[in-house]
Amino acid sequence: MRRIRPRRSPAVPLLALGWAGAGAVLWLWWRNTPAVPLTAGEWLVDAGRMTGLLAGYAIALTILQMARVPTLERRVGSDRVARWHAMTGRYALCLTVAHVVLILYGYAAQAGLGVVAQTVSVVTDYPWMIEATVGTLLLLFVGFVSAGAVRRRMRYETWYHLHLLTYAAVYLAFWHQLATGSEFADDAAARTAWYALYATVGALLLWFRVLTPVRLNIRHRMRVESVVREAPGVVSVLIRGRRLHRLGAEPGQFFRWRFLTKGLRWTANPYSLSAPPRPDLLRITVKAVGGHSAALVGLRPDTRVWAEGPYGALTAARRSRGKVLLLAGGAGITPLRALFETLPAAPGDLTLLYRARTPEELALRGELEAIADARGAQLLYVVNKPDGRRTEITAKTLRGLLPDIARHDVYLCGPPGLAEEWYVVLRKAGVPDQLIHYESFEL
């Protein structure tokens, strides 16, 4: 407690490295551009080459960001990496479309053909172009179903399995880059570098998305121990296994869980640990907000469990102050309950404020009160008024409860809308941005 050393996020160096890679790709284009373009067709073709190289690089980054590399997942944060993935994916799609349009119009201008005739010629006559065309169409389809307005109308499971088409699209589109790209045709070093980029991304994807989970589940052999009702629509699932302390999981982290039973085996959903890990037992607490979470109440003991993780950066490592406020809303109590038990704190330095609509919806209430009594921590509930009116939490309210709130680390977990509202309130209360710690499963 006398010397808290927060773990530094590698986000800035990683972003700098990513932009440096983009610069190297542009240098590759410049090195293979012997003269300044003179005609409109030459300008269009050169712009198409540039956007094509950048699209290929952005696609590799998009795949890397979903490889679930532990350094990214635990140090940067799964939610932040997911946002990077979504943003990079949009860049990749835009660059891909620009590449296709610029190249086709440029070739058409140089050959004196119409765009349609030139398109047919490119697709049918150039090596690997039929495969690249199919891959590009798949990428555009994945981008369409991932758009917010479309995705919100789809079941998560449907979107997830359609999203997997990205891997087929990348494989189909990769080969034409080396076969037709002037940057690679006569440059063995450039070809080697491009192969190395995609081979590295592919190896990380295979290792962390396939081999690591297989090893984890063979080693720990997890099964459902029991299901406990905690509150209306809220259940805890106790999961037993072997040597679970060797998972390296920390309070505040989550796993992606797949329960090998009818209706649940094909989808892995993220749920946080709601208690510190034990050598033989893990626990998650879940509120029914969708088909997968609602089905957990029907899990039977001894159901096999397939887990991936641990992931997430909402841990004690983010802490930089002696005093801590935990702000939980609804099902957001899950990771904060584990932190409430384990975060080092002197009596009076740890506060948990728990927001729910009714007293009956305060899940894990008995445990929270026992922890508060044992640790000398402050536990506060905020529920709606008896007539159903919402009780507001304002900056004034927080300063009244904790006059020195600006010197607190604040861990925040709740539904996205509520979390955004509380973030604004905390900033108005004087809490610096770097002391507000939040992680969301939303993209």
Domain ranges of the chain: 11-215, 221-311, 316-438
Band of pLDDT at residue 431, cut at 50, 70 and 90: very high
- CATH of 11-215 given 1.10.3470, 2.60.40, 1.20.120, 1.10.4040: 1.20.120
∠ CA 97-101-103, rounded to 5°: 115
pLDDT at position 114 is 92
CATH architecture of 221-311: Beta Barrel (2.40)
Q: What single-letter DSSP state applies at residue 295? A: H
Q: Is 7 exposed, middle or buried (0-12, 13-18, 19+ CB in 10 A)?
A: middle
Mean pLDDT of 319-333: 92
The DSSP secondary structure of 264-292, one letter per residue, reads TTT--EEEEBSS--BTTEEEEEEE--SHH
Backbone torsion region of residue 425, taken as left when φ is above 0, otherwise alpha when ψ lies between -120 and 50, otherwise beta: alpha
CB 297, CB 232: distance < 8 Å: no
> Is residue 414 over pLDDT 50?
yes
Contact in structure between 259 and 296 (CB atoms under 8 Å): yes
Per-residue pLDDT, averaged over 258-268, amounts to 90
Compute the distance between CA of residue 294 and CA of residue 286 in angstroms, rounded to an integer: 9
pLDDT at 286 > cutoff 90: yes
Band (95; pLDDT cuts 50, 70, 90): very high
The answer on pLDDT for 266 being more than 80 is yes
On whether the CB atoms of residues 197 and 183 are closer than 8 A, the answer is: no
Residue found under tokens 């030459």: 42
- DSSP notation for 157-196: HHHHHHHTHHHHHHHHHHHHHHHH-HHHHT-HHHHHHHHH
In whole angstroms, what is the distance from residue 271 CA to residue 284 CA? 6
Indicate the burial class of 400 (C-beta count within 10 angstroms; 0-12, 13-18, 19 or more): exposed
Q: How many residues does the chain have?
A: 443
Q: Span 264-289, mean pLDDT? A: 92
Write the DSSP symbol of residue 302.
T
On whether the CB atoms of residues 202 and 218 are closer than 8 A, the answer is no
Cα–Cα distance between 47 and 97 in angstroms, integer?
12
Q: How many Cα atoms are found within 13 Å in the side-chain-facing hemisphere of 348? A: 2
Distances 265 to 28, 157, 261, 292, 295 between C-alpha atoms, Å = 45, 11, 5, 10, 12
- Read off the pLDDT band of 241 (50, 70, 90): very high
Q: Are 394 and 427 in contact (CB under 8 A)?
A: no
Classified by CATH at the fold level, domain 316-438 comes out as Rossmann fold (3.40.50)
Interval 192-218 mean pLDDT: 95
Q: Which two tokens stand for residue 241?
A: 């296994």
CA 97 to mean position of chain CA atoms: 25
- Given a cut of 60, is residue 443 above it in pLDDT? no
Place 255 in a pLDDT band, splitting at 50, 70 and 90: very high
From CA 413, how far away is CA 398, in angstroms rounded? 16
Reported as a single tens digit per residue, the pLDDT across 359-376 is: 999 999 999 999 999 999
Instruction: Please say if the pLDDT value at position 10 is more than 70.
Output: no
Quickly state the pLDDT bin for 77 (edges 50, 70, 90): confident
Question: Model confidence at 104, in pLDDT bands (50, 70, 90)?
Answer: very high
Inter-residue contact 389 to 396 (CB < 8 Å): no
Scanning 355-415, the segments in alpha helix (DSSP H) are 365-375, 395-401
Q: What is the mean pLDDT of residues 260-281?
A: 91
Reduced to 3 states, what is the DSSP secondary structure of residue 226?
A: strand
Q: Which amino acid is at 84?
A: W
Mean of pLDDT over the chain: 90
Which residue's entry shows tokens 């919806």?
Answer: 361
* CB-CB contact of 231 with 242 (8 Å): no
Task: Give the strand pairing for 281-287 and 234-240.
Answer: antiparallel
Q: Is the pLDDT of residue 253 over 90?
A: yes
Distance CA 98, CA 104 (A): 10
